[in-house]
Structure 1
Amino acid sequence: MILVDDVGGVFPSINHSPWFGVTLADFVMPYFLFGVGVSVGLVFKKVPNRVDATKKVLLRTIKLFVLGVLLQGGYFHGSHDLTYGVNVRKIRWLGMLQRISLGYLFASMSEIWLVDNSAVESIMAFVKKYHFQWMVALIVCAVYMCLLYGLFVPDWTFERQCVTPSYNCSYTQTVHCGVRGSLDPPCNAVGFVDRVLLGLEHMYQHPLYIITEQCSVNSPDYGPLPPKAPYWCLAPFDPEGILSSLMVAITSFIGLHFGHVLLHVKV
């Protein structure tokens, strides 16, 4: 990721996709989650005590989530600012480590509570052993798709900062939406859910779509705004938000079942 952040603009194939599409860098986080799922499938192949296992999983989840908040919540102010601390009104609750903790929690809970300890001696026995997990995964996918394409996204506003030589100021900017099923940056359901449940102040303040063609003259790298850039280019958007975290569970789930295959399939 250091390579992506430093030279991604020179080599677009390894930089993050500005919005639509996928590049090599976009596989990094899913592979982390996939690895989490595989490890869960191997670790919890036998669960003698479900309550004790649940307590351990919850403790690890909390530790990882809190660590993510400390690292990405706004406590560290940058290499040129030696101050420390955070404004709780603007703390960022979600981030990459928090997302990994949620994937670990989903995979572990499903492995502890939805799987019995019966032996797997055939394909049908394999399906029977894990069919409840597949049902839960399908329900999560259905909920995600319904919310993504079914939620009505109304117009919304955000505070835009302006800096003049004499004083700082801010003004309210309105983003016009009023649509359903949009996947474009300003009016998608993912951002809408985060704005409602988290609030703009607790979201990532440097959204990924700042490198789109509409928002950067150096796209797909960071750069100055084009002369006619839409005003939503400077609005907050969290790439590790609430709704998109549902797909974190599914990615971890896929890794979990790959771990099952490693356990039961003999080559």
Structure 2
Amino acid sequence: MTRERLISLDVFRGLTILLMTIVNNPGDWGHVYAPLLHSEWHGCTPTDLVFPFFIFIMGVAIPLAMPLKSWESTTFNKILVRSLRMFCLGIFFNYFSKIQLFGLDGIPLLIGRLLITIAIGYALMGNFSSKVKNILAFSILFIYLFLAYSGIEAYHDVRLPGVLQRIAIVYFVVSLLYLKTSKKTQIITGILLLLGYWAIMTLIPVPGIGAANLEKGTNLASWADSVLLKGHMYRETITWDPEGILSTLPSIVNGIIGLLIGQILQRETSKTQKAKKIVLAGVALIVAGLVWGIFFPINKSLWTSSYVLYTTGLAATCLAILYYIIDIADYKKGIKLFLIWGVNPMIVFFFSQIIPQALVMVKFQNPHNPAQQINLLNYLYTFGIAPFFSNPMTASLAGALVYVGIWTFILWLFYKNKLIFKV
């Protein structure tokens, strides 16, 4: 069986990564349209779909990237190293703003941080031999962990979990499931994870707090994070992490469902039949998620089992629609924008989060208030974008779209020159 590349899947990935860039980079965090913010707790906004969609897409891509289920030590090594490289890229986001170099400050420190960023990016996305990839990935991970637990003041509270870290874990588990188990086992594994997580979160009392609950800061997942990730969690929550330990378990099922959809796409049946099966599965998952949500609320931060079913159902339905339009009806007008975003997601993941942090480090006198300083990111938005809009929310969205426009040009250059960056 030859390796198949689905244009609709690339487009879906491009749509997802583009939306991620918009929601992560508003011009002004104080003025953001509600759909572009995460749900406060229970519930689901369009922004809450980005992360689970990306995991689902990754799951779909696994059987398409490995059409022949051949298990060798080299295959395991590739999966392990790719997972480690993603994991290490994700952790670096949390280290960038904490890096200290020989007492440097201001622009010299920024230059040093950017040089280290380029070195880390090259080490984790460069095309080396398997042996070199192994050495680099394990060495970088060791350095991260050493700094986090060394007692060095600058790194004592660096966050260890994150989006790419969770994606890396899910990729590792789901890839092994694909290579070593049957579809029946994959389905059973998914069901057990969802039911097990529901039971853990709703039946087991929380140590030091009392009865099982799903409230902020007092649920079992929060307790586990506070014990196992103490001092290394998301800085705005302190007592729990949105990409914490327990909530990673159900996220594996997003990847498993994607894997099952990917195997439907592999079948030697007509494309129309495949699309029908995927859309039916999507609708069934949406309904199941909404029904389960009555008892186990849809919640991204807790990554509840109902959230898994609901978001994978929406993802499967979206993919089925794109698959029909692009791969069956062969309608490809207007998709190039999303294609150029979809084939190079890792470079966007990595640098789109580094650039804003770098711009914040560049500070100078505020033209409107000489007694204060303003960083370059705020300056560009305040004086280059906001004055053109009377509605601050529209201005904030425009700031995000300008950033998307800059990245679109960069990705177009990569696409034109056939440059694809992978881990």
> TM-score with structure 1 length normalisation?
0.69
1:76 is aligned, of 85, 97, 106, to: 97
Residue 109 of structure 1 is matched in structure 2 by: 176
Instruction: Name the counterpart of 2:48.
Output: 26
The alpha carbon displacement at 1:56 in A equals 0.8
Correspondence for 1:92 among 159, 165, 184 = 159
- Shift in CA distance, 42/183, structure 1 to aligned 2, threshold 3 Å: same
Deviations 1:93-130 (A, max 9, x none): 21011011011111101011114xxxxxxxxxxxxxx1
Contact 2:166 2:248 in 1 (8 A): yes
Aligned to 1:179: 211
For residues 184 and 243 of structure 2, the distance between their equivalents in structure 1, rounded to whole angstroms, comes to 29
- Does residue 192 (structure 1) correspond to residue 223 (structure 2)? The answer is yes
Aligned partners of 2:74, 2:236: CA distance in 1, in Å? 41
Distance 2:228 2:205 in 1: 15
| Equivalent residue, structure 2, for 1:3 | 22
Aligned length: 202
**8 Å CA contact retained: 2:83, 2:171:** yes
- Retained in 2: the 8 A contact 1:41–1:256? yes
Q: Give the distance between the partners of 1:2 and 1:42, measured in 2 at CA.
A: 26
Please state how far the C-alpha of 1:189 moved relative to its aligned partner: 1.4
Q: 1:186 is aligned with what amino acid? A: G
Whichever residue aligns with residue 158 of structure 2, its letter is I
Aligned counterparts of 2:71 and 2:60: Cα–Cα separation in 1: 21
Which protein has the bigger strand share? 1
SS in 1 for 2:91: helix
Please tell me whether the aligned partners of residues 194 and 242 of structure 1 are also in contact (alpha carbons under 8 angstroms): yes
| Cα offset, 1:14, TM superposition | 2.1
Work out the CA distance in 1 between the residues paired with 2:168 and 2:252. Answer: 10
Q: CA deviation at 1:90?
A: 2.0
Q: Is the contact between residue 36 and residue 103 of structure 1 (CA under 8 Å) also seen in structure 2?
A: no
The equivalent residue for 2:37 is 15
The CA distance in 1 between the partners of 2:239 and 2:236, in whole Å, is: 6
CA shift in 2, pair 1:14/1:88, >3 Å: closer
Q: Secondary structure at the match of 1:153?
A: coil
Unpaired segments of 5 or more residues in structure 2? Answer: 1-19, 100-104, 114-146, 149-153, 272-423
Distance 1:23 1:48, change over 3 A: same
Structure-1 separation of matches of 2:71 and 2:222: 40
* Higher deviation after alignment, 76-85 or 186-195: 76-85
1:154 paired to 2:207 = yes
Partner of 2:388: none
Q: Is 1:144 aligned with 2:144?
A: no
Distance in 2, matches of 1:24 and 1:133, equals 28
C-alpha contact (below 8 Å) 2:226/2:239 kept by paired residues: no
Q: Secondary structure at the match of 1:108?
A: helix
Partner of 1:266: 270
Q: Deviations over 1:169-200 (max 9, x none)?
A: xxxxxxxx3221x111121111111112221x
Q: Which residue does the alignment assign to 1:249?
A: 252
**Whole-angstrom distance in 1 between the partners of 2:190 and 2:106:** 45
Q: Which has the higher helix share?
A: 2
Separation (CA, whole Å) in 2 of partners of 1:146 and 1:34: 24
The alpha-carbon deviation at position 21 of structure 1 amounts to 0.7
What do the CA deviations read for 1:54-78 (whole angstroms, capped 9, x no partner)? Answer: 1110011111111111222x34249
**In structure 2, distance between residues paired with 1:75 and 1:3:** 21
Is the CA contact 2:98–2:155 (under 8 Å) kept in the aligned structure 1?
no
Query: In structure 2, what residue type is equivalent to 1:76?
Result: S
> Structure 1 residues 197 and 151 mapped into 2: Cα distance closer, same or farther (>3 Å)?
farther
5+ long unaligned stretches in structure 1: 116-129, 156-176, 208-234
User: Which residue identity is paired with 1:249?
Assistant: I
- Residue 88 of structure 1, CA deviation: 4.4
Q: Any residues of structure 2 matched to 1:46-85 within 5 Å, and which?
A: 46-72=68-94, 74-77=95-98, 82=109
- Give the aligned CA root-mean-square deviation in angstroms: 2.4
Greater shift in the superposed pair: 4-13 or 83-92 = 83-92
1:44 corresponds to: 66
Answering whether residue 184 of structure 2 is matched by residue 131 of structure 1, we say yes
